[in-house]
Structure 1
Amino acid sequence: MSFETNATVASFGGKLLKLSHNSTVIGSKMNLNLYLPPQAVSGTKVPWIFYLAGLTCTGDNGAEKGFFQQSAAKSGVAVVYPDTSPREPRYEGDDASWDFGRAAGFYINATKAPYSETYKMENYIIDELYDALPKEFLLDPARVSIMGHSMGGHGALSLYLKYPQKFKSVSAFAPISNPINCPWGQKAFAGYFGDDKEAWKKHDATELVKSHKGALDVLIDVGTGDNFYKQKQLLPENLEAAAKEAGHPIGPNGLNVRYQEDYDHSYYFISTFASDHVEHHTKFLVSQSNLIDL
């Protein structure tokens, strides 16, 4: 598989590449963004972070509004911004609402027809992009982390907990932390998996953390002014309670959920704390001697 570069944008000494490729997992063309820091541009293999975007988004949102590139350039870390769902072929009703179907793939492999044919965003991230990108770009396949926002926060947390051997670290902005108990998750999981609620638990971070073994060093930011938090769509408290019951430390050097006063669900919120999240991952990905001043 090869990637086509459709545009190159200079950013903080590095390059943001707007890419497309024919996905064998999804069965159609997919778009994504890749930020290569100056270290990669100059020929050095670098660690990298997946950023998984939220409902209604594409791979452009985080790349253009997240403000991750400055910190990524300083740390010598690449950032991959995948799309949030297949874009073709189309199924009847897959664009009827903003919180299911197109742009709402939830980073799972659907098992219910017709979505099971192409809605395989879990394998797309974990297998296809994870394996293909280091073969074509200067990305270190042994140093990979993952973060995300909202639906993408759910994706980052659940994929990290399902595949801890693949990722060095995880963080999330306003994640859907307990999808089996919130309207967004219940709608999506019923549509993608059917009515077997025991199967739903395999994709829920609050359920997965109960059986997670080993260290759990996670950074999560949630805005107290976030209407979706107030509407009980995010439920980070449930994740904290489950982690505590399972014996994981809560707070710094554990499951660290920071409630940021007055912040909402938008990219104003994400961009404010973007550097904190890149620095969190840098602890696990980069030797401090490799940091540069910009």
Structure 2
Amino acid sequence: MLTVPETLEGWCLLHQMFRVSWPALVQATNDERAELAQGLREFLERGSDTDGTTIAVAMLGHKADLMLVHARRSFDALVQAQLDVARLPIAEAFEATTSYVSVVELGMYDMTAKLHEQLTAQGLEHGTDDYRAAQKAAMQVQHGRVSSRLYTAFPARRYVCFYPMDKRRGEIKNWYSAPFETRAAMMREHGHIGRLYAGEVTQIISGSIGFDDWEWGVDLFADDPVVFKRLIYEMRFDEASADYGEFGPFYTGVQFSPSEVAAWVEGTTPALVPAAG
């Protein structure tokens, strides 16, 4: 019986949230602050589209002052990014408030159903070794086809919203006990709403089952923060969210360029500078 949808994985993600000791930075000399800012700037500029990058977000509210989001090819590389941040001179002024570990994920409900039909038509029985081998080979082909979506660069959009979420597993409503076809239909409806906002917001969905306290992480990027409210509000009314969605804390802020780290350290709202060319 078909139950579990296939997924494809890309970047490994680590969200780090920090509270900043602003008094410590204020008390430093101008030269000391410049040196601290330069270290963080150099770290942010070190990434590449091939190996992964890190973005900086100046946060709103009390939950954190700074969010760093690292995208790397492996968990080993994420550990290195975490160590690199911890060893920055400016880290003396950082206090970690929370973090989140996940992997960019593309859910494949429709593809899983289509592949199941194809393999069954070939005489392969679901759950057997031959079925699993053929399924794995087919998904590797799909991975190559959508690789650009799994390893996409962070969008250069000003406003960022991150939140974790679960699918409900209660006694009355349990996402994981609902039939595959029912879940697939709900996810199609959910995805349709997201596509209506395609030009206004960029979404990065990451899976965290087995990695962190929630099941998925959602990163939203937009040029107008109000679009976050509109999108999430509309999605609350679809069945997948209304009956099965559980949401964690929301983190919102403004993405800024590495060249603006010094402005941020000096207490000025940092800008997101358009890329040259």
Which protein has the bigger strand share? 2
Compare CA radii of gyration and give the structure with the larger one: 2
Tell which has more relative contact order, 1 or 2 (C-alpha 8 A, sep 6+).
Answer: 2
Sort the TM-score into its range (normalised by shorter chain): under 0.3
TM-score (norm 1): 0.26
